[in-house]
Structure 1
Amino acid sequence: MTPSPVYIAGVGMTPFQSPKKSAASSSNPEGDYFNLAVSACVKALLDAGITYDEVDQGVGSYVFGDSAGAQRVFYTLGMTGIPIYNVHNYCSAGSTGLYMANQFIQAGCADCVLVVGFDKMYPGALPQIYKDRENPLGRILELSKKFIPEGQGESAGWTPQLYANAQAEYLEKYGPAGAKPEHFAAIAATNRTHGMSNPYSQLRQAVTTGDVSSSPQVSGSITRLQCCPSSTGAAAAILVSERFLQSHPYLKQSAVSIKGQALATDSRELYEPASAIELIGSNMTRRAACTAFRQASLLAKDIQVIELHDCFTTNEMCAIEDLGLAAHGEGWKLIENGGITYNSKSATKRTSPGWIVNPSGGLISKGHPLGATGLAQITELVWHLRGWAANRCVPQTKHCLQHNMGLGGATVVTILGRADGQVAPSLSEMQDQVDGRQRLGYNPALEARGVRRQDFDAVRSQKASSEWAAATFETEGNPREPRL
């Protein structure tokens, strides 16, 4: 049975910011998690040109928050009685929500699903919130202690230790062939350079490979600049069926098709045989990628732009190989040869052979609010396929790949292409096209703006709005107080 086509009709996100940031900015009014999440939803609804009344089901993805957080977000837009789901799947929570929405539409259970990912995180390393019960990652963390090099104590944070162990194993296995710590540092320098072009990126200053290598040591050979920053932010996407797309023909020019998508959890290789690289989820990436490529009838060489999960540089190195961009043990060669970035002679010229990996700056530059990350990756790739991301685009882009993983574990790989099957046009080729840029009033790929009161009022439910539920939502320059 051939699954029904599913399309992404609208996307939106807020700038990612440090949890330590206390002052509000005009591009991202300070507020609670629901304020950020609703802002991302409003942008996605405007992009698709619909109101919340047309949404059949809602999915909210987050990690740091109480149950029913999704309801708090969606009720702000309207209380229409639709099914609402709360997804907690660690760092891949946002992509898991996307996967669920894709399944709902393929099964014929919905025609329009709004998915939002958000998190209001704590500064610094990921904390263990509940200390009176077993940590779901406890078995992984216990096994990870076996891989700590002799004489090296445990690091302050549990996540850096896992990735430091994997980096040490990689260098031990492939160092004789030429892999060096500098190759991992080069990943961070590349992503930070890419992030300079992304208005939503938390860190927009370039750093050199030397800067990365000489930054303070966090764990093993991993330095501070090889770690993604803790972040707060939100992103959203609207998925629709073929039937919905046909009934909204104005969306056909900008709709993006989900060509293939897979969610994989861990196999026995997580523990057996013991490997520090397998403990960070490499097997999940390999299996998810294999399934997604098979669904899309594509190979890695058919992809032009990739957003992959670089919570640490170790993860990007391993994912490059697990996604098939390089043979195992040879990812460092791709990095050394400039195969993950733009040609130095032109900011928008693709390297050959190679891919553009993390044009957004990745998690290392953009930041990593856990529940929002997967949907932020999707938002970036949708903008590339539409041709909107002019300052970081790749000519002749036809297919993009997203990779989002969470320990514990779950990994999602999604392959995207334009609904019309064509390559992404240039901005000059779309001068007369009416799309989400006109509804938003700007190009969101190049400029990050806040949500205005008229934006919110244009997309909120016209049939079932609750002033009480919406009373505390703040738009740019328009704070609201609870009403009795």
Structure 2
Amino acid sequence: MSGRVMVAGVGMVPFATPSRSDSYDVLAEGAVRAALADAGIDLAAVQQTYAGYVYGDSTSGQKALYRVGMTGAPVVNVNNNCSSGSSALFLARQAVASGAADCVLAFGFEQMRRGALTMQWDDRPNAFERFDEVVTKVQGEVEGVPFAPRYFAGAGAAYCEKYGMDPAVFARISVKSRRHAANNPYAVFTDPVTVEEVLASPRILGWLTRLQCCPPTCGAAAAVVVSEDFARAHGLRADVAITAQAMTTDTPSSFDGDLMRLVGYDMTAAAARQVYEVAGVDPLDVRVVELHDCFTTNELMTYEALGLTPEGTAEKFIVDGDNTYGGRVVTNPSGGLLSKGHPLGATGLAQCAELVWQLRGEADKRQVEDVTVALQHNIGLGGAAVVTLYEKVG
């Protein structure tokens, strides 16, 4: 594949809790219209569309897009669990980079229900059977705890045991997340919290508390990606490029009994290595990152998987403030999944929107200084990890 891929427009709607949200098609319409307006094009210019979501019937992408218009151009629906949005973006970028299309829309949405994630089908094989076998072998039977907290609490415990870290350090991530979200008008939870409040919130499993888990959220986000030639020919913005992108899936190491690997550490590290190699970028050159903080434990482990800090040093990285403004790299300036919210299909594209705004210098009070490259990490168990590197052009 060849050809530079530009992000010409992005858009999203404010995220909301399930009790306060519009339906998914209304949310998606708002995000798509915002992205098209930002790009300065009509839907008629879009040659292909990729729609990411998890909880919805087939062709929900069409249902949502038809509220904007019906052009006859193909719409592909994408479900890769929590990385569905960035998987849609991955396909959109491939279509443009390959020359199959010059103008492609990727959007993601989710209308979630209250409560923890659950499996929807009990009359067929469960995609997480192998995951459950591994975590049960490590933890034993645990009653009344949803599968995702079991996995990520276990991964956090494995990290603490390996490196001798006090689990209370994880709570600092929730505090940082809320502080960042306070400056984001799209975020759900913007009130500040203290480490003591995080640790005193209801226990989910072991030391993992509610304020260390992302909430069920509804929302939508979208991006318009185009070839550089298309952008120039139509007078569109060509100041942000997708320089490199990689998607990885599980290898046998995910199931070797290490719960850090079970939740995607190796997938993330492999995707990051590919991206850095293609882009010719050192992770220490990255000043801003939107990463997949579905739980505080995953944010901490992802620092190391992405190469932002060496293995075993995440505690110092956090305590020294190197994960926030004034430190080495600002992680999740949007507030991340923990505070902005995590509508599964929308998350990857909301991350994209935040980083495009950062590279343009349009992030208002969230703006990180001297941003020339930006890194995105989005992971879905089952599994798929997508790492994307954006670059400021011109």
2:8–2:236 CA contact under 8 A, matched in 1: no
The equivalent position to 2:271 in structure 1, one of 288, 300, 312, is 288
Structure 1 segment 19-30 matched on structure 2, within 5 A:
19-21=18-20, 30=21
Partner amino acid, structure 1, of 2:177: N
Counterpart CA distance in 2 for 1:70 and 1:341 is: 36
Alignment correspondent of 1:276: 259
Alignment correspondent of 1:158: 147
2:39–2:236 CA contact under 8 A, matched in 1: no
Counterpart CA distance in 1 for 2:19 and 2:44 is: 36
For the pair 1:267 / 2:251, whether they are aligned, the reply is yes
1:419: how far off? 2.4
What percentage of aligned pairs have identical amino acids? 45
Alignment correspondent of 2:195: 209
1:78: how far off? 2.0
Counterpart CA distance in 1 for 2:275 and 2:353 is: 19
The equivalent position to 2:294 in structure 1, one of 311, 335, 339, is 311
For the pair 1:358 / 2:358, whether they are aligned, the reply is no
Q: Closer, same or farther in 2 for the Cα pair 1:393/1:32, shift >3 Å?
A: same
Q: Greater Rg, structure 1 or structure 2?
A: 1
Counterpart CA distance in 2 for 1:39 and 1:382 is: 18
Partner amino acid, structure 2, of 1:268: P
Structure 1 segment 189-338 matched on structure 2, within 5 A:
189-252=175-238, 255-272=239-256, 274-338=257-321
1:288: how far off? 0.5
Counterpart CA distance in 2 for 1:63 and 1:135 is: 15
For the pair 1:383 / 2:357, whether they are aligned, the reply is yes
The equivalent position to 2:158 in structure 1, one of 142, 164, 169, is 169
For the pair 1:416 / 2:390, whether they are aligned, the reply is yes
The equivalent position to 2:41 in structure 1, one of 26, 38, 50, is 50
Counterpart CA distance in 2 for 1:217 and 1:88 is: 31
1:155: how far off? 4.5
Counterpart CA distance in 1 for 2:143 and 2:7 is: 43
Counterpart CA distance in 2 for 1:37 and 1:79 is: 15
Alignment correspondent of 1:35: 26
For residue 333 of structure 1, give the secondary structure of its aligned residue in structure 2.
helix
Counterpart CA distance in 2 for 1:331 and 1:256 is: 30
Deviations 1:194-226 (A, max 9, x none): 110100001011101111111111012110000
Partner amino acid, structure 2, of 1:163: F
Deviations 1:128-151 (A, max 9, x none): 111111111111012111221x7x
Alignment correspondent of 1:66: 57
Structure 1 segment 441-480 matched on structure 2, within 5 A:
none
The equivalent position to 2:83 in structure 1, one of 83, 88, 92, is 92
Count, aligned residues: 394
The TM-score with structure 1 as length reference comes to: 0.80
For residue 364 of structure 2, give the secondary structure of its aligned residue in structure 1.
coil
1:168: how far off? 1.0
Alignment correspondent of 1:457: none
1:58–1:74 CA contact under 8 A, matched in 2: no
For residue 261 of structure 1, give the secondary structure of its aligned residue in structure 2.
strand
1:168–1:220 CA contact under 8 A, matched in 2: no
1:249: how far off? 2.8
Counterpart CA distance in 1 for 2:90 and 2:143 is: 36
For residue 231 of structure 1, give the secondary structure of its aligned residue in structure 2.
coil
Counterpart CA distance in 2 for 1:384 and 1:79 is: 32
Q: Closer, same or farther in 2 for the Cα pair 1:389/1:56, shift >3 Å?
A: same
1:327: how far off? 1.4
For the pair 1:7 / 2:6, whether they are aligned, the reply is yes
2:9–2:38 CA contact under 8 A, matched in 1: yes
1:165–1:220 CA contact under 8 A, matched in 2: no
Alignment correspondent of 2:369: 395
1:168–1:221 CA contact under 8 A, matched in 2: no
For the pair 1:185 / 2:159, whether they are aligned, the reply is no
Counterpart CA distance in 2 for 1:332 and 1:134 is: 39
1:155–1:161 CA contact under 8 A, matched in 2: no
Partner amino acid, structure 1, of 2:357: W
Counterpart CA distance in 1 for 2:269 and 2:19 is: 36
Alignment correspondent of 1:367: 341
Counterpart CA distance in 2 for 1:209 and 1:94 is: 31
Deviations 1:229-257 (A, max 9, x none): 100000000000012111123523xx310
Partner amino acid, structure 2, of 1:143: V
For residue 77 of structure 1, give the secondary structure of its aligned residue in structure 2.
coil
Alignment correspondent of 1:79: 70
Partner amino acid, structure 1, of 2:324: T
Deviations 1:398-454 (A, max 9, x none): 11000000000000000001122xxxxxxxxxxxxxxxxxxxxxxxxxxxxxxxxxx
Partner amino acid, structure 1, of 2:154: N
1:20: how far off? 2.2
Partner amino acid, structure 2, of 1:109: A
Alignment correspondent of 1:27: none
Counterpart CA distance in 1 for 2:184 and 2:66 is: 31
Partner amino acid, structure 2, of 1:186: R
Counterpart CA distance in 2 for 1:54 and 1:246 is: 14
